[in-house]
Amino acid sequence: MAAGKTSVLVIGVAIIVALAALGAYVIVNKSSKMGTVSIYVKDLPDEWSHVNVTFSEVKIHAASAGNQSGWHTLKLQKQTIDLASLVNVSELLASGNVGLGKYTQIRLVVISVTGEMTNGTHVNFTVPSGELKTTHPFNVTADQTQSFVLDIDLSHSIVHNSSGWTFKPVLGSITARSG
């Protein structure tokens, strides 16, 4: 029986030593040294006072329909919008009544873009594709309005190269609201 008591005593001491080692590890690694994390956000390139984007149409696509037949065009509320003026605010571009159900895509078609730099220089942008699309599925339900705020990221949409200024619309984020 002495051997059994010795084994229990050895296991007990081993557990105490392990717990003491774990406690020492936690105390040593919980030092007062800290690092710094800084996060900056920017709505607009500093050099632009106006970026006037002209849209020709806004369409949404029904999930259950074919590629040609599933498109629904929303009514433009304002064709040209100065995106540079929309820092921390949004402006209604298009709206419309559509059938109930699931929709899988939103497309905005840009036909022209002009801008004014903060130094007064006027710029006519080349718009190579002009189509901004997102595959953000959503449902339209009875007597509800499904609203989206699409953040067009100007810092990535505006490109300057040897041939001049180009506007390639890039979507920054989508915020959805229903009510």
User: What tens digit of pLDDT does each residue of 55-100 get?
Assistant: 999 888 989 877 777 888 888 888 998 988 877 777 888 888 888 8
Q: Residue 177: pLDDT above 70?
A: yes
Residue 36 lies in a domain: no
The torsion angles phi and psi of 173, rounded to 5 degrees, stand at -150, 165
User: Hey, what amino acid is at 72?
Assistant: H
Q: Do 61 and 1 share a structural domain?
A: no
In the structure, what pLDDT confidence band is assigned to residue 39 with cuts at 50, 70 and 90? Answer: very low
For residue 51, the model assigns a pLDDT of 92
Domain limits for position 99: 48-178
Q: Residue 28: pLDDT above 50?
A: no
Q: Do 71 and 153 share a structural domain?
A: yes
Q: Residue 138: pLDDT above 90?
A: no
Residue 41 lies in a domain: no
Rounded to an integer, what distance in angstroms lies between the CA atom of residue 82 and that of residue 32? 49
When the pLDDT of each residue in the chain is averaged and rounded to a whole number, the result is: 76
Tokens 């010795």 — which residue? 6
Q: Do 87 and 7 share a structural domain?
A: no
Residue 33 lies in a domain: no
Q: Residue 116: pLDDT above 90?
A: yes
Rounded to an integer, what distance in angstroms lies between the CA atom of residue 155 and that of residue 42? 8
| Tally of helices (H runs) and strands (E runs) in the chain | 2, 12
Tokens 């800084």 — which residue? 38
Q: Residue 162: pLDDT above 80?
A: yes
Rounded to an integer, what distance in angstroms lies between the CA atom of residue 72 and that of residue 106? 10
Q: Please tell me the total count of domains within the chain.
A: 2
Q: Do 61 and 131 share a structural domain?
A: yes
Q: Do 63 and 22 share a structural domain?
A: no
Contact 171, 152 (CB under 8 A): yes
For residue 72, the model assigns a pLDDT of 85
